[in-house]
Amino acid sequence: MLVKKVVLNSRPGSNRVPDPGNFRLEETTLAPGLEEEEVLVRTLYLSVDPYMRCRMNEDSGAEYLTPWKLSESVDGGGVGVVQSSRHDAYREGDVVTSFTWPWQTHAVVKGSILQKVNPSLVDGHLSYFLGAVGMTGLTALLGMREKGHVIRGANQTLVVSGAAGACGSVAGQIGRLDGCSRVVGICGSEDKCKALVERLGFSGAINYRLQDVTAGLRENCPDGIDVYFDNVGGDVSDAVIAQMNEGGHVILCGQISQYNKDVPYPPPLSQETQENLRRKNITRERFMVLNYMSQAQDALCELGSLVTSGQLKVLETIENGIENMGVAFCSMMKGGNLGKQIVKISH
Ligand SMILES: NC(=O)C1=CN([C@@H]2O[C@H](COP(=O)(O)OP(=O)(O)OC[C@H]3O[C@@H](n4cnc5c(N)ncnc54)[C@H](OP(=O)(O)O)[C@@H]3O)[C@@H](O)[C@H]2O)C=CC1
Ligand SMILES: CCCCCC(=O)/C=C/[C@@H]1[C@@H](C/C=C\CCCC(=O)O)[C@@H](O)C[C@H]1O
């Protein structure tokens, strides 16, 4: 069978913005037949995610992220359908997902990398398994619950950076559903600010590209900030932490503003921000969703029912075609996405 695949064409270098030319589309032939434990899958949707920027480097900077190899098939989150199987757990027609799905139109994979999913959990919106009812939704839900210390009725103000993205858009909604009295998002466009307030029920939104974040926070958070879901790091996070209340909590989810720079993860904080955290006794704990996979099944069921009941709104930006994987990835890294950035590969 002739299939299309995306390989890593070149590395951007650890201090540069990635370019679609860093990826290359190739054709390859899948050998007929399957070995024992193997499964032939057809790809429906692929995910592009910020951590992939680190996998483009020779050294990813994180022990759990393997660098992609030059001229080899790239991989990441994917969802697809089983076409044939020599693994006991999978049958033709099953819908399956994986964190390490090859960027190919079809692929032969080991059954052990797949998990079977139930389409009714997402009312048939299978791309949600890569977003709100998948890895980024889990990150938002479990990050808020494990590190946010939200107490219903405690009149807490939550601020979310990267608020119109995949994790941020869910984190803000979970904060509201769990009882925060004020939820303010920080994001990079007027359209995104509008979507947060009008579609997702955020109390307010700040466009960090146009507005002074410090002034915007003073206006939107008159009682200070109790919980901060941090997706971006850098200057935005310094401004948020400066207005946090005594005993507040920072959920250190990601630091995308630093991923095109040659710095360790998490990147070092300024003296002033370190002093703010210490003086106000603010916790700032790193959260990694992969460390909480024992809670994944229950959390995915909760996310699924919040979505299907309409309590959790899903935002997605869908690009079409495997040839556009690099375009979609680079666009997401620059803020081209509203909600989860997905690439549709086949029907
Ligand atoms: N800890 C964990 O287990 C996990 C962590 N993450 C982290 O969560 C964060 C969000 O990921 P995800 O939801 O998938 O991605 P998003 O859907 O949020 O997409 C990335 C967004 O980052 C914003 N951005 C890009 N550059 C900057 C910058 N310099 N300053 C501020 N914002 C910027 C852009 O939005 P805008 O228009 O607002 O600039 C862009 O849309 C990332 O840091 C990621 O690494 C993700 C999954 C798991
Ligand atoms: C170094 C930057 C990390 C920033 C945080 C982040 O985005 C973490 C994301 C992970 C991501 C890892 C995915 C797959 C790892 C396996 C692939 C491999 O390297 O072989 C996600 O799936 C879970 C998050 O914790």
pLDDT at site 251 = 98
pLDDT at site 226 = 98
pLDDT at site 62 = 86
**pLDDT for 312 beyond 90:** yes
Residues with CB under 6 A from ligand 1: 49-51, 136, 139, 162, 164-168, 187-189, 192, 231-232, 236, 253-257, 287-289, 332-333, 335, 337, 341
ipTM of the complex: 0.94
Angle between helices 271-279 and 234-242 (to 10 degrees): 30
pLDDT at site 11 = 98
Stretch 21-35: mean pLDDT, rounded? Answer: 97
| Mutation to probe ligand 2, out of 47, 290, 295 (largest number of atoms < 8 A from CB) | 290
pLDDT at site 134 = 98
**pLDDT for 47 beyond 90:** yes
Q: How far apart are CA 227 and CA 158, in angstroms?
A: 5
Stretch 267-287: mean pLDDT, rounded? Answer: 98
Stretch 167-176: mean pLDDT, rounded? Answer: 99
- CATH domain 2-131+314-344 topology: Quinone Oxidoreductase; Chain A, domain 1 (3.90.180)
Residues in the chain: 347
Q: How far apart are CA 93 and CA 95, in angstroms?
A: 6
CA of 106 to the centre of ligand 1 (A): 28
Ligand 2 proximity of 135 Cβ (cutoff 6 Å): yes
Residues spanned by CATH 3.90.180.10 within the chain? 2-131+314-344
- Cβ atoms of residues 164 and 187 within 8 Å: yes
pLDDT tens for each residue of 132-143? 999 999 999 999
| Mutation to probe ligand 1, out of 16, 184, 232 (largest number of atoms < 8 A from CB) | 232
Residues spanned by CATH 3.40.50.720 within the chain? 135-290
Ligand 1 atom with minimal separation from the 338 CA: 41
Percent of the chain with pLDDT strictly greater than 70: 100
pLDDT tens for each residue of 206-265? 999 999 999 999 999 999 999 999 999 999 999 999 999 999 999 999 999 999 999 999
Place of tokens 């969703």: 289
pLDDT at site 61 = 87
* 250 exposure class (CB count in 10 Å sphere: 0-12, 13-18, 19+): buried
pLDDT at site 63 = 86
**pLDDT for 5 beyond 90:** yes
Q: Which two tokens stand for residue 123?
A: 């009312």
pLDDT tens for each residue of 76-109? 999 999 999 999 999 999 999 999 999 999 999 9
Q: How far apart are CA 15 and CA 128, in angstroms?
A: 32
pLDDT tens for each residue of 52-73? 999 999 999 888 899 999 999 9
pLDDT at site 211 = 98
Average per-residue pLDDT for the chain: 98
User: Across the beta sheet with 157-161, what order do the strands follow?
Assistant: 204-207, 182-187, 157-161, 225-230, 244-252, 283-286
Q: At the top level of CATH, which class does the domain 135-290 belong to? A: alpha beta
- Cβ atoms of residues 91 and 40 within 8 Å: no
Residue type, 297: Q
pLDDT at site 121 = 97
